[in-house]
Amino acid sequence: FFVQAVFGLGAARRHPALSAAAMPPTKVFKGQVFALSGKLSQTRKEHEDMIRSSGGEVVGSVTEDVTYLITNEADAEARSLKVATAIGRGTPIVHEGFLGACIAAKKLLDARHFAVLAARPKRKAPAKRAGGGEPAPKRAKAEVGPPRTTDKVAVIAKSGLADRAKVVQETVKTGFVEASLTWDVELVHNDVAAGKDKFYNMQVLASNEGGEYWAVQHYGKTGLDGKVHVDGPFDDIGDAKRVFRRRFRQRTGNVFGQLGVSFAEVAGKYRVLANDDAVAEAAAKEGRPAPVKAGGGKWQYYLHNKVDGKKLGWYDYEKKAGENMEKYFGQFTRDAALNVRLIQSDYFKYEVDFSAMIQRNVKSGMRRNIRRIAEGERAPPVPPKKIPAPAEPAPDWKGAESSEEDEEDESSEDEGEAEVEAEEEAEAAPAEKPARAAAPAGVRGRGAADPA
């Protein structure tokens, strides 16, 4: 039985009589959820058919529901995104032989006998130069010792970790260049022509008590609360960083945190937003005034037609809507390309033009004047000089069914996985080729490594 258990899947390939299709359809995997990763001996479809015919489910990413991750030693050694996530969640990571062995035994076997050894926690020895000597230098080396954190960046509230952890901030060096790197990015995908406006924020967090690390992602449609995904806790901060880097690469097409490399926008992907301090610093260097800093402003819209018996005049936005307007106005002051936003609620979707100070109800086409009243200021009740004409309505548009991100972001978890793995291998090698683009130059605390 030992031979059959360990080599069960290979035997099934050599002898058609033992294949998944020929075996009795026992429901040995009933209630079990599998994820697949790495290059396996059979195709993904063959594995999926085998699992499903035996009562199991197969999903594309390692969620909380996954009970087993099927992979190989090479994939585990490379710490792919799925492997790192499974380690963080404590999900068993097993060889593909586990499937055939369980089917042959007609019961779930102890996963420990099929564990992928490379997935176990390990300590890496420093790389040696050929012939011995000191460790080979790296292009960007983080400071030695416990990771530093910062109080200046708020932890993503929906992560539930604000009281337990802080955002990681470290000093990295390459040659004579030293820089500060904060593991916190704010991403936006704004494509008005395509009707898309989404956010994707990420952080690496370190426990206040030490020894635990998380990679947190908060994403959704602009205007909605969005969804939070937490990977971890990890015992090794490298695993949390690896998840962060891969997600950044998948969402932006750029490499995170390379010294002296500017962010390059990629069509159809997210862009990185600079924070207020970086924008003000860049303005000072160029000798121009710093843009208006958002925060505390009050937003109003002008009612120029009779609605529900209300008088014509200026009306305050509801509290949550006003806070959102101030936040997106702040993004506009940091990035002029975000002058037109598509802001969604559970029932309506608005196109807001911060340059013209006009909002449009996408469904009805109604356009209204809007204004911002800075903190401490008083605005006159006089009507706007010009009332905008209504636009063409979009009656077929439907409101959001939930506050979660578009399905395309959920289904693209593995998109570009092979390319990311190849890129990570290239990054680990000596720097002989020009580096790929990273976060924007001069963006402190938002992905770029800033010269100290």
Tell me: the pLDDT tens digits for 385-413? 999 998 877 655 555 444 344 434 444 44
**pLDDT tens-digit map of 411-436:** 444 444 555 555 454 444 443 333 33
Query: Which H or E element spans position 321?
Result: helix 319-334
Is 78:91 a contact under the CB 8 Å cutoff? no
Mean pLDDT of the chain: 78
Span 423-450, average pLDDT = 41
Indicate the burial class of 426 (C-beta count within 10 angstroms; 0-12, 13-18, 19 or more). middle
Identify the CA nearest to 434 among candidates 258, 283, 305.
Answer: 258
* Most confidently predicted of 18-32, 165-179, 332-346: 332-346
Q: Where are the alpha helices (DSSP H) in 78-199?
A: 81-89, 97-105
Q: Taking CA 275 as the corner, what is the angle to CA 274 and CA 276, rounded to the nearest 5 degrees?
A: 125
Q: What's the Cα-to-Cα distance from 342 to each of 3, 20, 328, 402, rounded to whole Å?
A: 60, 49, 10, 16
Span 258-277, average pLDDT = 82
pLDDT value at residue 428 = 44
Span 327-340, average pLDDT = 91
pLDDT value at residue 223 = 93
Residue 220: pLDDT band (50, 70, 90) is very high
Query: Residue 323: what are its φ and ψ, rounded to 5°?
Result: -65, -40
Is 231:243 a contact under the CB 8 Å cutoff? yes
In the chain, count of helices (H) and strands (E)?
10, 20
pLDDT value at residue 417 = 53
Identify the CA nearest to 194 among candidates 404, 15, 406, 410.
Answer: 406
Residue with the larger pLDDT of the pair 20 and 93 = 93
Pull the structure tokens for residue 299. 């937003």
Report the C-alpha gap between 251 and 266 in whole angstroms.
10
Residue appearing with tokens 């690469």: 249
Packing angle between helix 2-14 and helix 97-105, nearest 10 degrees? Answer: 110
Packing angle between helix 44-53 and helix 97-105, nearest 10 degrees? Answer: 20
Is 82:71 a contact under the CB 8 Å cutoff? yes
Report the C-alpha gap between 387 and 381 in whole angstroms.
15
pLDDT value at residue 366 = 93
Is a pLDDT exceeding 70 seen at residue 332?
A: yes
Q: Is the peptide bond before 147 cis (omega within 30 degrees of 0)?
A: no
pLDDT value at residue 442 = 37
Q: Half-sphere exposure of residue 321, counting CA atoms within 13 Å on the CB side?
A: 18
What percentage of residues in the chain have a pLDDT greater than 90? Answer: 42
**pLDDT tens-digit map of 293-331:** 667 899 999 999 988 888 999 999 999 999 999 999 999
Is a pLDDT exceeding 80 seen at residue 151?
A: yes
Is 295:331 a contact under the CB 8 Å cutoff? no
Indicate the burial class of 158 (C-beta count within 10 angstroms; 0-12, 13-18, 19 or more). middle
Residue with the larger pLDDT of the pair 74 and 284 = 74
pLDDT value at residue 244 = 95
Is a pLDDT exceeding 90 seen at residue 51?
A: yes
| Lowest model confidence (mean pLDDT) among 21-25, 158-162, 446-450 | 446-450
Is a pLDDT exceeding 80 seen at residue 346?
A: no
Residue 126: pLDDT band (50, 70, 90) is very low
pTM for the whole thing?
A: 0.64
Residue with the larger pLDDT of the pair 415 and 15 = 415
Across the chain, which distance is largest between two alpha carbons, in Å? 87
